[in-house]
Amino acid sequence: MKQYTLAKTAGFCFGVNRAVDLVYDLIAKQKKAATLGPIIHNPQMVEELSKKGVRIISSPLEAQPDECVVIRSHGVCQSVYDELTAHRITYVDATCPFVAKIHRIVERESKAGAVILIAGDPDHPEVQGIKGHASGPVFVARDAKELKDLSDTLEFSQNTPFVLVAQTTYHTSFWRECLEIARKHYTNVKIFDTICSATSERQSEAARLAAENDLMIVIGGKHSSNTQKLRALCAAYCETVLIETSAEIKDIDFSAYDKIGITAGASTPAHIIKEVLKTMSEILRNEENEDFATLLEQSLESEKVYNGKRVTGVVTSVAPNEIHVDIGAKQAGIIPAEEMTDDPNVKIEDIVKKGDELELIVVKVNDQEGIVTLSKKRCDAMRGFEKIKEAYEAQTVLDAVITDVVRGGVLAYTCGTKIFIPAPHCSNTRVEDLSTLLKKEVRLLIIEVNEGRGRAKGSVRAVLNAERKAKQEKFWEEVEVGKTYTGEVKSLTAYGAFVDLGGIDGMIHITELAWKKLKHPSEVVNVGDMVEVYIKEFDKEKKRISLGYRKECDNPWTIFTTKYAVDDVIPVKIVSFTTYGAFAEIIPGVDGLIHISQIANKRVEKIADVLTVGQEVDAKIIEIDTDKKRVSLSMRALLSADEQKKEHVSEEAAEETVEE
């Protein structure tokens, strides 16, 4: 006798129910209504409201003068409220109270100077609405990995406050992973658990039902975020089918299932759930009337073990080279270690223990020895391939680990199966030695699926290019003269250094690397160095960026004018001669001129007779020309009055002698 169980938490949540009731209330009052986007993610409900005259608009300005705009349960940005008020448009706010609470948190904490972090789907309207209530920096992370990556790339001081919130329908297990990352990588973070309690309860009950039943039916809109999460959650435990209406029930073969669980997303109306239950009851009632002999034959057939059959086994013992399982047959079930997983980074004893229930594939039956050889990795691969196909259709990015180098590319392990990555798709730059990629964690897109052969191709390059493009677009949106960046030196030329600013390159001209004259950029920086630079100028059309590297605080002239003034007596070193004087180094990068008339109190015919290059002397600063950055020095000014008189008398005596 087949049995089915309906989840107690199936169907409309409080927020959705409130939003729908508000629309029906407007209809009952014979008021025209227009929802800002679909009121809920359920096509049947949206169609039903459309028949009652409720329009869907994408902007407040699309509303007709006599219409009342309904803000859906997902909520909207603050700018939408401002637009409604500015144009005096009548509206009803059906934002879920749980979502509105997040809006208040984000507004308050953002105004206080915190950087807002949102765990959720950046494309979901709820998340977009939450972002729109932040007055400062705000970032969205799909999962714990993206949250960690953000911590590595964000340029904020160590004391910068962060606030982490979650999309109300966010997966609870993902949220736990995000909490670990937040506490480990964000030193000053405040966490608000904003997952809706109804969502958490619905997910927990769905997981429990899936573990207890052979088949799970999830009812809801195929574009509903929370419904898709329920489907993924249940699929981890048993066969799972997602349907929108009772009409799709007829396509399901219930003959292989004895226990059936049913749940529904938060956007699924009660009448659709009732229709599904009614249709199921009729189908199951008809199936129970089948001939007893047929049922007996099917029962006996189900006990047979043959190659390719999927079975469930309970682990009875674990050894380094094999796992013994009870599959409910007369033969002993054995899983060789190499048939457990393709992941080279795990140990068998770390992933399975006595009492675990495993889904397996029969690969060999030896009736003489009474042994059935089983494979978990092949079963995982079959289930994983379904996930691969879903990822291909949705163009979802997958996390993978490169495990093997093969002809023409590499193999990457993800979703329990291996994906071939052609060599040109291993990176967005040429990889000379593919073996350097082994054991490397990568993110890839599925670019080709061959269902007949059960194979798929992936591309790391596609993900890197997409990320690079996104970074470039973000860069050009935010770039401004004077803004500082930290980047990696990618290459050097005779005239400068090229720096990767995160998806886009800028150039530091050789004259901007240091205050002194350089023969080559390598005197200051090398390829691979991380440097702090600032934007000197940029051209969006030509995609050119000029960077500055040298700092004003290191400017020799600035150091000189800060340290010295006119009339200061300083030690200097003679560095060169001219016909009109000698140049002396005051500090590295700043030279002063001692005019020939300022070297001594007597006439100097040849400077080399008085001074030598490298000689250190004391001189007095007699003039600083700030505009031309010139310094005039005098040795003569340091001679005592007696020395000056003596020199003067000597000169007169010499002149008189000449006259005789």
Consult the annotation and say whether 200 binds a ligand: no
Is beta strand 138-141 parallel, antiparallel or unpaired with respect to 115-119? parallel
DSSP state string for 268-333: --HHHHHHHHHHHHHHHHHHTTS-HHHHHHHHHHHH---TT-EEEEEEEEE-SSEEEEE-SSSSEE
Furthest-apart CA pair in the chain: how many Å?
Answer: 153
Using a 10 angstrom Cβ sphere, with 0-12 exposed, 13-18 middle and 19 or more buried, the burial of residue 305 is middle
126 included as an active-site residue: yes
Indicate if the alpha-carbon torsion angle 201, 202, 203, 204 is positive or negative.
Answer: positive
CA atoms of 296 and 286, how far apart (whole Å): 17
| Annotated active-site residue in 48, 67, 107, 126 | 126
359-392 burial code (b ≥16 CB/10 A, e <16): ebbbbebeeeeeebbbbbbbbbbebbbebbebbb
CA atoms of 307 and 566, how far apart (whole Å): 98
Consult the annotation and say whether 169 binds a ligand: no
Rg (CA), the chain: 39
Q: Enter the DSSP assignment of 426.
A: S
136 CB neighbour count, 10 Å cutoff? 13
DSSP state string for 589-601: TEEEEEEGGGT-S
What strands, in cross-sheet order, belong to the sheet with 67-71? 55-57, 32-36, 67-71, 91-93
CA atoms of 47 and 53, how far apart (whole Å): 10
Is beta strand 455-459 parallel, antiparallel or unpaired with respect to 441-450? antiparallel
Asked if 528 and 471 touch (Cβ cutoff 8 Å), the reply is: no
Consult the annotation and say whether 225 binds a ligand: yes
Consult the annotation and say whether 68 binds a ligand: no
CA atoms within 13 A on the CB side of 3: 5
CA atoms of 360 and 380, how far apart (whole Å): 8
Consult the annotation and say whether 271 binds a ligand: no
Asked if 220 and 233 touch (Cβ cutoff 8 Å), the reply is: no
Using a 10 angstrom Cβ sphere, with 0-12 exposed, 13-18 middle and 19 or more buried, the burial of residue 495 is exposed
Consult the annotation and say whether 226 binds a ligand: yes
Give residue for tokens 């150091």.
559
CA atoms of 573 and 587, how far apart (whole Å): 9
Structure tokens at 559: 């150091």
DSSP state string for 531-562: EEEEEEEEETTTTEEEEE-S-GGG-HHHHHHH
Consult the annotation and say whether 425 binds a ligand: no
φ, ψ dihedrals at 138, nearest 5°: -145, 135
Consult the annotation and say whether 74 binds a ligand: yes
Consult the annotation and say whether 267 binds a ligand: yes
Give whole-number Cα distances, 618 to 27, 497, 574, 591, 635, in Å.
96, 40, 10, 14, 7
Structure tokens at 238: 């048993």
Asked if 418 and 412 touch (Cβ cutoff 8 Å), the reply is: yes
CA atoms of 545 and 658, how far apart (whole Å): 70
Residue list, annotated binding site for isopentenyl diphosphate? 41, 74, 124, 224-226, 267
Residue list, annotated binding site? 13, 41, 74, 96, 124, 168, 196, 224-226, 267
Residue list, annotated binding site for dimethylallyl diphosphate? 41, 74, 124, 224-226, 267
Residue list, annotated binding site for [4Fe-4S] cluster? 13, 96, 196
Residues with a known catalytic role: 126
